[in-house]
Amino acid sequence: MAKGKQRAFLVAVKEALGGGVRNLAFCLGVHARTVRDWQCEKYLISQQALTLLQKISGVACPTILEVLPDYWSTSKAGQVGSRRRSERYGNPGTAEGRRRGGFISYEKLRASGALTGFQLRKTIVKPKRSSSLAEFIGIVLGDGGVTDRQVTITLNAVTDREYADFVVRVVSQLFGLTPSRRTRENACVIVMSRVELVEFLQNHGVVQGNKVRHQVDVPSWILEGPCYVKACLRGLMDTDGSVYSSHHTIGGTKYKHVCICFTNYSKPLLASVHRMLSELGYHPTRARNRVFLYRQQDIHRYFKEVGTQNPKHLRRYQDVAGLFLSVNITTRPDLRRGAGVAITGRS
């Protein structure tokens, strides 16, 4: 209808029937608000209501310009709403939006008991750079392995049993997950199956794949502070390091002293360990695939300042160093360069 015609028709019907809006609503079986909206021409009156009012009131129907189908305005309103939403919130078809929507759908399906068959990526806590993280990276560089989906740390099932407990605690505290343990022959394998953990370590300088083939090295951020350096050294030494006693004879007297050795087949990593020890004031010696600490004062300093979390190393150190811990090393010229302890009364 032309503008104003629908309003005029409804006013004429009310006058003809002698009632108000509520009376018309009752006759049509609709809410009074619907009749008011028709009278204000907010909405178009339905063809069925128009025919019924014409019949019961006798008022002539105004000229109809066009008959529109039911819900004709839905598509138009949806387009308007879509444009307004895009103007206000931007494009909804982003990767993050789709990911969030898919996750919500999955949670609803799982809550309803439906079998989705989906495997969602499990999240981890992402810690800031710290001494604990530097030590963990040292452990991974030493006895660890990184694949597409897993991080593993392989230790001796017998001699490193206590140290394995420590590694599990570090993983739990840093990343909020509990790794699994697998035993094969004499090895204890600590397994962390998290893609996010792999990506996190890669973002912090750890290389995925074969460590020797890739010639891995200490991440550059660890070299920025002495506390990171000491922690990373501790992780490296506790895994790829060894503490042992050395015997030699000078002038008919047998000597015994403690030594530290780090063994690895990545040349950049060996060079970094040598450099880190040197910058901390130690006197390391490099020979092929090993870095040694021979000087007794260096070794005592190392266990005092850097320390160890591997009880195996601590026991070996105490077994040998305990023989001369009461000796003032600075006043013994024969001990300053690692001559060791004279063993008397033995053949």
Beta strand 187-193 with 150-156: parallel, antiparallel or unpaired? antiparallel
Q: For the domain bounded by 1-76, which CATH number is listed? A: 1.10.260.40
Residue 261's φ and ψ, nearest 5 degrees, are -135, 130
Q: Looking at residue 12, what is its pLDDT?
A: 85
How far apart are alpha carbons 313 and 237 in whole angstroms?
Answer: 9
Phi, psi of 252 (to 5 degrees): 80, -5
End-to-end Cα separation, the chain, in angstroms: 122
Of the candidate ranges 13-27, 51-65, 106-120, 121-135, the one whose mean pLDDT is the lowest: 106-120
Region of 127 please: left (phi>0), alpha (psi -120 to 50) or beta: beta
Per CATH, the number for 131-232 is 3.10.28.10
Q: Regarding predicted confidence, which is higher, 32 or 332? A: 32
SS3 30: coil
**Top-confidence residue, 243 or 32:** 243
Higher pLDDT, 31 or 219: 219
- Using alpha carbons, select from 336, 302, 334, 299 the residue that is nearest to residue 320: 299
**What does the pLDDT read at residue 297?**
93
Question: Looking at the predicted structure, is the pLDDT value of residue 52 above 80?
Answer: yes
More confident residue, 74 or 129: 129
* pLDDT score for 45: 80
State if pTM tops 0.75: no
State how beta strands 285-287 and 253-263 pair: unpaired
Domain ranges of the chain: 1-76, 131-232, 238-342
Round to whole Å and give the CA distance between 110 and 102.
12
1-76 matches 131-232 in fold: no
User: Nearest 5°: phi and psi at 31?
Assistant: -80, 150
User: Of 329, 325, 324, nearest to 342 (Cα)?
Assistant: 324
* 341, 266 contact by CB (below 8 A): no
Poorest-pLDDT segment among 76-80, 124-128, 233-237, 317-321:
76-80
The per-residue pLDDT for 32 is 87
Q: What angle do CA 292, 294, 300 make, to 5 degrees?
A: 110
**CB 265, CB 216: distance < 8 Å:** no
Mean pLDDT of the chain: 84
Place of tokens 């040349």: 267
Q: What letter represents residue 181's amino acid? A: R
pLDDT for 345: 35
Give domain 238-342's CATH superfamily: Homing endonucleases (3.10.28.10)
Q: What is the pLDDT of residue 250?
A: 78
| Distance of alpha carbon 125 from alpha carbon 223, whole angstroms | 24
Each residue of 86-114: pLDDT tens digit? Answer: 777 667 677 777 777 888 887 887 777 77
For the chain, strand residue ranges (E) read 144-146, 150-156, 180-184, 187-193, 241-250, 253-263, 285-287, 290-293, 341-342
Report the alpha-carbon distance of residue 203 to residue 206 in Å, rounded: 7
